[in-house]
Amino acid sequence: MAVCLDRDKAQDDFRSAYGPAVSKIDDSIFDRRTDSAVTVSGNVSRRLCYSWADGCYGFTVKGKLSLTFTDRVYEGKFRTRYKPINKHNTFPKPPAGWMTWYAVMFGACEEKVIANAEWQKKYLADYGADTVWVDWEWYHSAFHNPDASDNIGYFSPDPVRYPNGMKYVSDRIRELGFIPALWIGPTCEPAKTATFEKYIGSVYAERLSWCGKYFFDITDERIRDELIPDAINKVTEWGYDALKWDCLPITLAYADQYHECLKHPDITSVEALRAICEKARDILGEDFYMLSCAGVNDREVLMASDIFDGARIGNDIFTWKEFISDFVERIMRFYPYHNVVLYCDPDNVVIRPEFNNIDQAKSRVSAVSVLGLPITLGDDLTVLPEERVELIRRTLPTLNIHPKDIRESIHDGRRFLVNLAVSAEYEDWNVVDLLNLLEEEASFTLAFDRDLHLDDGEYLVFDYWNRNFLGRLSDSVTVTLPGTASAVLSVRKATGHPQILSTSRHITQGAAELSHVRWDDATKTLSGYSEVVAGDGYRIYVYVPEGYTPTGFEVSGGICVLEPDCSSSGTVGWSIEFG
């Protein structure tokens, strides 16, 4: 992938890419397979490029050519283990789907899971929802619970909440066409369960904590070689195809605190925890999706990045303040790892009115989608207002988007700016997500050269959420936003003939559904194909420059709108002729 290997951290534009996109500031080609890069430079100028015909990157240089080869790029820059992401796991692209905890919390139960899964099937499956996550309520009923039942634990799920057992739930999820995923926390038990009694000699700490009370010695061979295999095998026996492994930070913290009490204090806490995670990986195989829920501190996120397929990068997010501190701040730290080493999990996308006004809800879904992160739905879908459900539809499916800067980033306190470069065989364009971090209204000017790194020329700018053409511009665009609101803009270079301006299907405005788009100058015809969803009301916005008149369509403000057939889901062809 084309990247800028050594950008100044103070430059606050946050770059991502879909496809083999190349920007004028990119200076290197990075190989995810080997953690190596080649940097191209010339004493006059250099420019990277990508050839769709040849299927490879290339470059042009003026002046003296210099090539610099760098090994162990990530290991050297971030001082962490490197293993490329496995795209053959359960999720070849980031997962998207409903989760119990944030949506219904301790009201989670078999009935709620199935009701939301059925709703997701009916209203979101065709858009790209693919997963249902059963979180920790299957054997927890409260935080710091001193009255936890000795009859409910990891190997004995709550019989009231899940009367038919965990296998029944996974079967129902799978029947609906979704991937069933399960929360686990096998390093501690909430009460004196049968598991506690069996491994009582390996319990080293009795600390009433949010997730349990009795903590097992992770340096003990019995825990590594008996308890963990039994716990992991339960996941597959119950029929789940992905897991979210929680309690890792607190397990590590207590192992540090009571280290001299452990069976093998000569083994570090990180070494011991890595060993049990590796044991789980050996049992499940390389292609079973494992998500580490370890976003509190950097150490926990990165200590097993070569073992897990995904990692939570922050704390739980409900409020807007938490979104800023545990999404915006944390993703600017960890985004270089996303879709390179593992999927960066930004926590649930919670958009219900209890925690967000409508602008904030748009801001949340926009940032997660344009960065190509996992989309975990954290609201009770059966009662979520329709205008907010519509926001979800516009961000599904998830796309295989990757970073373009191998660096940590910071913002200026006023804006969070994501610049997604999209490269399709028929066109390159940019999708810009601009979030106002302030509580009050503010205006922002984005310079095409400095902020978006575009070549000189004229660009067509379209405001996605407001369905508003902002004009044919050559230097910059200015956007005024209410406090905590965001704008998502498509920025396409003007071609001089009719061209795609935007589409309604997905926030990336064409990346998710368009293919084989073509302008035929001889017949003055614009044509292409789109993947549509039945009943979606799909629209294609076409820019019509002066001198062209579409046949059978009205033009308003330089735009005509196509509405291809959406009577059923699938691929539809479309075309428009001009006189």
pLDDT band at 512 (very low <50, low <70, confident <90, very high): very high
User: Does any domain span residue 513?
Assistant: yes
Give pLDDT, residue 4. 94
Residue 3: Cβ within 10 Å count? 28
Give pLDDT, residue 44. 86
Average per-residue pLDDT for the chain: 96
SS3 for 470? strand
User: Does 1 have pLDDT greater than 90?
Assistant: yes
236 DSSP 8-state letter: H
Q: How many domains does the chain have?
A: 2
Give pLDDT, residue 297. 80
User: Does any domain span residue 106?
Assistant: no
Give pLDDT, residue 241. 98
Hey, which bits of 286-427 come out as E strands?
A: 289-292, 310-312, 343-345, 375-377, 401-403, 415-423
Give pLDDT, residue 295. 78
pLDDT band at 327 (very low <50, low <70, confident <90, very high): very high
Is the bond preceding residue 545 a cis peptide, omega within 30 degrees?
no
Give pLDDT, residue 9. 73
Average pLDDT over residues 473-484: 98
Residue type for 378, please?
G
Give pLDDT, residue 296. 75
First to last CA, the chain: 41
Phi-psi region of 524 (alpha: psi -120 to 50; beta: other; left: phi over 0): left
Give pLDDT, residue 294. 82
Query: Residue 394: which of 332, 330, 441, 351 has the closest Cα?
Result: 351
Which residue among 262, 282, 312 closes a domain?
Answer: 312
For Cα atoms 573, 574, 575, give the angle at the middle one, nearest 5 degrees.
140
pLDDT band at 561 (very low <50, low <70, confident <90, very high): very high
User: Does any domain span residue 384?
Assistant: no
Question: What CATH number does residue 235 fall under?
Answer: 3.20.20.70
User: Does any domain span residue 179?
Assistant: yes
pLDDT band at 298 (very low <50, low <70, confident <90, very high): confident
For 27, 39, 42, 69, 181, the CA distances from 5, given in Å and listed in that order, are: 7, 8, 16, 12, 36
CA distance 498 to 504: 18
Give pLDDT, residue 391. 98
User: Does 190 have pLDDT greater than 80?
Assistant: yes
User: Does any domain span residue 115?
Assistant: no
pLDDT per position as a tens digit, 339-397: 999 999 999 999 999 999 999 999 999 999 999 999 999 999 999 999 999 999 999 99
User: Does any domain span residue 453?
Assistant: no
pLDDT per position as a tens digit, 400-422: 999 999 999 889 899 999 999 99
CA distance 208 to 215: 10
Owner of token pair 């050594």: 6
Q: Which residue would you say has higher pLDDT here, 297 or 433?
A: 433
Give pLDDT, residue 6. 81
CA distance 390 to 385: 9
Range of the domain at 519: 497-579
Give pLDDT, residue 446. 97
Q: Which residue would you say has higher pLDDT here, 427 or 6?
A: 427
CA distance 242 to 6: 36
Whether this prediction's pTM lies above 0.85 is answered by: yes
User: Does any domain span residue 202?
Assistant: yes
Owner of token pair 């199935």: 114
SS3 for 269? helix
Which residue among 312, 340, 357 closes a domain?
Answer: 312
Question: How do strand 415-423 and strand 13-18 relate by DSSP bridges?
Answer: parallel
Percent of the chain residues topping a pLDDT of 90? 95
Which residue among 281, 312, 343 closes a domain?
Answer: 312
Give pLDDT, residue 379. 98
The values of phi and psi at residue 513, to 5°, are -135, -20
User: Does any domain span residue 240?
Assistant: yes
pLDDT band at 118 (very low <50, low <70, confident <90, very high): very high
